[in-house]
Each structure stands twice: as C-alpha cells, then as structure tokens.
C-alpha cells in the first residue's frame, strides 16, 4: 500500500489570500461589533497622532517664532528684510518698556513693531513682559499636548484590550471547530497525515492566526489611516512642498511589492518545515523503543538534522528578505527627510514657508515612514498567518468526514433509521453484499465478499495475514466505505445511517487496546455515560477486572498514563472489555483479544469475553484456531475472498484450506 506517510506537505497555490480572508471573515463575523468599536478607537488614536505635529507647528508659528512683519515705509530701500515682533501697546507695561529702550511707535495704533535685534538686547524680565501672551500660549499648547498624549494612552489601552479579547474569542472558536472537524474526519485521513502535522495545525498555526486578528488588523487599519491622514495634512499645509516630499513614493511601492512576493514564499516554506519537524519528533517519541533497540539513533539524528537544516535555510531566507527591505525603507525615509530640509529650508529663508511648517513637515515625514515599517513588520505576521490559514483550511475544507453529525443526513434518512430502531428494537441481520475494498486504488484487499450474519450468531473470521480480516470490521464500523457493493444492517445501507447511531450498537475490542490518560473509572465510563456505582460493580465482575482494581493504589480512581502504558497489555485488554460491557452493545467485534498475553491472563480474558458475547452478535478475528472452533460459524478468507464457510466440524470434514491450517 502507498500512503502519504512522509513529512513533505502539499505545495499550495500562490494566489489564495483573497479566499482565505473571506473564510477568516466568517470566524470574525460574530464579533464584528467589537471589531467596529476597535476600529473606531484606532481612528481616534490616529487623529490624536496626526494632531501632535500640527499643534507643534501652531505653537512655533504663533508663539515661539511668529511670522515676520516687514516695515516697508521705513525700509523701502533696504536690500534685506527686517524681522519685527508685534507688541500690544494697550498694555501700560509694554509702553514703559518701549520708552525704556527708546523704541518709537505710533501711539494711534494698537500694535508696535519691535525689531528682533532689540529683543536680544533687552533684559530677560522685560522680554517675558513683552511676550507674556506667547508664553501663555506655549503653556496652553503644552497642556493640550499632554492631554492628547494621556488620552491616546487610555485609548491605546482600551483598543489593545478589546482586540486581544476579540482575537482570543475568534481563536477559541477556530480551534474548537478545527478540533471538532478533525474528530469527525474519516480514518483514511489519519493514515495520510502524521500526528505531528495535525498537532501543528491546532497549536502553532492557530496561534499565528491569533496574532493576525489582534495585532495585524488594528495596526494595519491605524497605519493606513495614518498614511492617508498625513498626506491630507501635508497637502493642506503646502501642496507644492507635499509633492516634493512624495517623490520617493514610487520607489516605496516597488520595494513593497517585491518584498511581499518574496516574503509569501519564505513563510509558506517555513510553515511546511515546522510541520515536518513536529511530525518527525512525534514519530521518534512514538517509536523510541524500536530506535534504541536497533541502535538507529544515529540515522534518525541525521534524518532530523536534514529537516532541521531545511527549516534553518527557510528561516534565513525569510530574515534575508526582511533584512533587505527594512534598510531600503529606512534609506528612502532619510532621502525624503533630506528633500524636505533642502526644499523647505530654502523656502523658509525666502519666507514662503514658516519654520513651524518645516518642523511639521519633518515630523510628518518621519511619521509617514513609521507606518510603512510597521506594515512591513505586520506583513511578516500576515504572511505567516496566511501560510498557517492555508494549512488550517486544507483540513477544514476536507469533506471526507465520518458523518457523526445528525444534520449531515436528510430528515427522511433519519426517520428511516429511527423507524428500524423502533420496529426491530435491535439489529437482526448484517449482510455484506458483493463488497470490494482497497486502501490504495491499485491494491485490492477485499474482493466481492458476500456474507450474511444473523442476530445472536457468533462468527469467526480466519485466514493468513493480509487477507482482509480486520478490514471487514473497519468497513462494518464505517471507518472506511466499500469501493463497490453494500453493507446492510436490517436491510438498510449503513451509508444511509449516521455513524453515531450505527456505532452506538457496536463495541470493538482490538489486539492492542488503547486507553486514555485519566482514571480507570473514566476509561470504563467512556463506553456509556451516567453509569451508577452498582452498574460499575457488575461491569468489573463481568469483565474479570476485580483483581486489577484491587491491586491498583487508588482502585477505580487510579490515574493511567497516556495509552495505558503504566499497566500490562493483558490488563489493558480486560479494561477495554469492561469499557465494551459498559456500552451494552448488540454487536461485539473482537480482533483477537488474546494475542499478546500469557496463558493465565488469556484464561481470564476468555472468561470476560464469554460474558461479553452472551446474547450478542459476535464477530471474532481469530489468529488462533482454538478460538475459532468455539464459534457458530467460521469464515475462511484467502487473498481477499471467502473460500470456505461452516462450523469447525464441517470444515474439518471438508479437508480444505481450513483443515490444512488446523493441521499445521
């Protein structure tokens, strides 16, 4: 058989982001109200950020370095302009200062023009009196700036808390839907996907989506608003000056597109390699006994080293892309500021632009490239998230589910199943009709199997290894569906019956029983919820588990390790039989429950199995013919076909294939 047991993952299409965003929107839609409030806070924070440099401009132009006035009447023939300070002479103290320094002015006017050179010659106290209004304006502006910063702090706090809460809720929903969908996938899916790959999807890939919903959405909205806001403000201050500042924008756009294409591939490769590493680690831990037994630590190390090196190369490629882009943006930002200083400085000298406007332009241009750097940084997270989302939706879009949910079936089908349950009360017949199946398209395991099982009949299935004995049970449990033919229960195709209803009437005891981490009581009760203490005692006795329970330190409340590895295989078998008894099934399927145990434990298991099979339809995969001879009927499989059928005595008299197996 050929399956996808390796670590290499599917390479994905390059143009998938739009569809991904639509699918991600479905998870964010229930919280769109919270997102709207967060975006409103982001807009408010952006407006506050835009206001800070503009307030600085106003302070400089109005109070610190007021726009110069030209006294043309007295200076018509001067080649250079003289800068004057406009003093309000309605204040008697100002008039006294003007007299003190012999500064002439027109008493009929309200404003006196004082050359700035005279201000430099005055005492500090006199300057404070002259510029008292400016000082009050500076103080008021400082208070306004402080109020804006404090307001921004609180808005930032609420915005972060709101986005974090919303992001956590979205991730909670995504993780639960992913986990629920994984549980509902058919068994064939798990044969193609290593455990480590699926663990990566539910853990680190979902966590990457958390960063997308919390930091990326808020920061990108804020940065986009900030970019457009800065452009509008700069054009409003001086549109010619703004156009000069934006001359580097085409280069920024080219660099951004180049970066985005390279970053996408780097992150996709990185997500693949992380999943491959997790898969390799999971396989190593699961097979550590075999690795150590055959002294394959070195080879296993070399295999992991290869995958880890490929992950290192992918990580370095991602860093290389970022290491080129960020300095390029810094360089373009510096060039833009240099253009502003060169062009704006000349205009300040010619008095076409104020000093405040120049300072504001420099501040805004530095601020302009900050969101570009932020967007580039968040683009890293976005691409990482999109790479993770691609892998997550590969699972969520997988439609090969086991169909556990009742809403997956039509009302007519459900009514039909309930009708059969009510009419018969139990399963009266199981029929395999011309069933063929293969795990791979070109490798047939079962070929045209026809088999009828009556209620209460005990059937043993024997044959060489690889003839499809266990596959029969897998098909009846609907772990897989037949490629051709049908399996009927009470005359109904089991594909029309929800597996939850079908499996509620069945119990399977496998060769190597799996127990969950938890108490013995919890493992037994997994067969059926709501078991009373009296029922539990009966189950323990019927399954021959009394000696095990008494030996364990906390009895039924003893906690077992993962897989039940803290107890022996025979004890695991007995507890799994107890779990099957708790379910009180109509059909018992045994995949040679005594294969891995000693003779004493085998005797105890056979007694428990006998109690389990009483009054129930039983299908036994028998590797030991001593088990098969106690069955009502024996089905002999060879190369995927039924070649003989009958009781032990009948098959012995036939002296066919079963006779030769028994003789051996």
**What ranges do the domains of the chain cover?**
31-63+135-275+307-396, 67-123, 508-584
How far the first Cα of the chain sits from its last, in Å, is 29
Q: CATH class for domain 31-63+135-275+307-396?
A: mainly alpha
Reference 575, options 553, 614, 534, 604; nearest CA is 604
Q: What is the pLDDT of residues 304-343, one digit of tens each?
A: 888 889 888 888 887 887 777 778 877 887 887 787 788 7
Least confident range of 406-420, 486-500, 558-572: 406-420
Q: Indicate whether 71 pLDDT > 60.
A: no
**Predicted confidence band of residue 75 (pLDDT cuts 50, 70, 90):** very low
**Predicted confidence band of residue 150 (pLDDT cuts 50, 70, 90):** very high
Q: Of 92-96, 310-314, 387-391, where does the model show the most confidence? A: 310-314
**Predicted confidence band of residue 403 (pLDDT cuts 50, 70, 90):** low
Spatial distance between the Cα atoms of 101 and 375, rounded to a whole number of angstroms = 58
Reference 203, options 222, 182, 186, 219; nearest CA is 182
Q: Could you tell me which residue, 591 or 267, shows the higher pLDDT?
A: 591
- In contact, 576 and 596? CB cutoff 8 Å: no
Average pLDDT over residues 479-507: 85
Average pLDDT over residues 269-276: 77
Phi, psi of 483 (to 5 degrees): -75, -35
Domains 31-63+135-275+307-396 and 508-584 share a fold: no
**Residue 452: enclosing H or E segment and its boundaries?**
strand 446-454
Q: What is the pLDDT of residues 291-305, one digit of tens each?
A: 887 777 888 888 888
pTM over 0.75: no
Q: Indicate whether 201 pLDDT > 70.
A: yes
Look at residue 419 in the predicted model and tell me its pLDDT. Answer: 52
Question: pLDDT averaged over the chain?
Answer: 79
User: Hey, what are 590's tokens?
Assistant: 């045994």
**Predicted confidence band of residue 414 (pLDDT cuts 50, 70, 90):** low
Least confident range of 153-162, 351-360, 409-418, 506-515: 409-418
Beta carbons within 8 Å of 178's beta carbon, 6+ residues apart: 201, 202, 206, 392, 395, 396
Rounded percentage of the chain residues whose pLDDT exceeds 70: 86
Q: Indicate whether 471 pLDDT > 70.
A: yes
Q: Long-range contacts: 1-6, Cβ < 8 Å, 24+?
A: 1/439, 1/440, 1/443, 2/440, 2/443, 3/191, 3/192, 3/439, 3/440, 4/192, 4/193, 5/191, 5/192, 5/194
Rounded percentage of the chain residues whose pLDDT exceeds 90: 4
355-396 vs 249-286: helix axis angle to the nearest 10? 30
Average pLDDT over residues 560-577: 80
**Predicted confidence band of residue 147 (pLDDT cuts 50, 70, 90):** very high
Q: What is the pLDDT of residues 545-564, one digit of tens each?
A: 888 888 888 888 888 877 77
Spatial distance between the Cα atoms of 191 and 183, rounded to a whole number of angstroms = 14
Q: CATH class for domain 508-584?
A: alpha beta
Spatial distance between the Cα atoms of 415 and 34, rounded to a whole number of angstroms = 42
């Amino acid at each position: 058989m050929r399956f996808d047991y390796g670590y290499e993952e599917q390479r994905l299409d390059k143009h998938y982001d739009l569809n991904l965003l639509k699918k991600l929107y479905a998870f964010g839609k229930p919280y769109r109200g919270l997102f709207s409030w967060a975006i409103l806070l982001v807009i408010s924070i952006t407006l506050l950020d835009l206001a800070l440099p503009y307030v600085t401009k106003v302070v400089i132009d109005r109070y610190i370095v007021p726009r110069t006035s030209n006294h043309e009447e007295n200076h018509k023939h001067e080649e250079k302009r003289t800068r004057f300070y406009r003093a309000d002479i309605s204040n008697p103290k100002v008039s006294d200062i003007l007299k003190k320094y012999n500064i002439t002015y027109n008493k009929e006017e309200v404003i006196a023009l004082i050359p700035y050179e005279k201000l430099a010659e005055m005492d500090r106290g006199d300057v404070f009196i002259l510029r008292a209004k400016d000082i009050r304006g500076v103080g008021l502006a400082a208070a306004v700036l402080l109020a804006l910063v404090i307001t921004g702090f609180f808005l930032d706090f609420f915005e972060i808390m709101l986005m974090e809460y919303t992001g956590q809720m979205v991730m909670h929903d995504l993780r639960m839907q992913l986990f629920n969908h994984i549980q509902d996938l058919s068994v064939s899916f798990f044969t193609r996907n290593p455990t480590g790959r699926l663990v990566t999807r539910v853990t680190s890939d979902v966590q990457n989506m958390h960063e997308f919903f919390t930091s990326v959405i808020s920061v990108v909205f804020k940065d986009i608003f900030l970019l457009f806001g800065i452009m509008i403000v700069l054009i409003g201050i001086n549109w010619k000056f703004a156009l000069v500042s934006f001359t580097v924008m085409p280069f920024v756009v080219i660099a951004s597109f180049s970066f985005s294409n390279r970053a996408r591939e780097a992150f996709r490769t990185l997500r693949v390699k992380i999943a491959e590493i997790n898969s390799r680690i999971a396989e190593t831990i699961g097979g550590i006994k075999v690795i150590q037994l055959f002294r394959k630590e070195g080879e296993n190390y070399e295999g992991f080293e290869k995958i880890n090196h490929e992950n290192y190369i992918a990580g370095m490629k991602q860093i290389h892309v970022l290491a080129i882009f960020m300095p390029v943006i810094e360089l373009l930002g510096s060039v833009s500021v240099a253009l502003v200083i060169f062009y704006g400085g000349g205009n300040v000298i010619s008095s076409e632009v104020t000093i405040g406007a120049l300072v504001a332009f420099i501040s805004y241009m530095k601020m302009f490239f900050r969101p570009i750097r932020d967007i580039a940084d968040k683009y890293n997270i976005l691409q990482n998230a999109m790479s993770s989302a691609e892998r997550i939706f590969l699972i969520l879009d997988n439609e090969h589910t086991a169909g556990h949910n009742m809403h997956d079936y039509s009302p007519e089908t459900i009514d039909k199943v309930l009708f059969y349950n009510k009419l018969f009360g139990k399963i009266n017949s199981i029929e395999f009709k011309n069933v063929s199946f293969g795990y791979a398209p070109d490798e047939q395991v079962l070929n045209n199997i026809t088999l009828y099982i009556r209620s209460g009949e005990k059937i043993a299935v024997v044959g060489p290894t690889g003839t499809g004995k266990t596959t029969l049970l897998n098909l009846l449990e609907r772990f897989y569906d037949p490629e051709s033919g049908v399996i009927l229960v009470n005359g109904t195709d089991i594909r029309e019956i929800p597996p939850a209803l079908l499996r509620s009437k069945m119990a399977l005891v496998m060769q190597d029983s799996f127990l969950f981490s938890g108490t013995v009581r919890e493992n037994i009760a997994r067969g059926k919820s709501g078991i009373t203490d009296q029922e539990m005692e009966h189950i323990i006795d019927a399954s021959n588990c009394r000696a095990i329970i008494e030996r364990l330190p906390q009895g039924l409340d003893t906690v077992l390790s993962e897989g039940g590895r803290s107890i022996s295989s025979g004890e695991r078998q007995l507890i799994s039989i107890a779990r099957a008894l708790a379910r009180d099934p109509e059909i018992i399927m045994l995949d040679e429950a005594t294969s891995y145990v000693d003779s004493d434990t085998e005797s105890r298991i056979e007694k428990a199995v006998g109690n389990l099979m009483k009054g129930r339809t039983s299908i036994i995969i028998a590797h030991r013919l001593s088990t098969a001879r106690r069955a009502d009927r024996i089905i002999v499989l060879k190369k995927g076909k039924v070649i003989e059928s009958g009781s032990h005595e009948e098959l012995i008299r036939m002296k066919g294939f079963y006779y030769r197996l028994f003789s051996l």
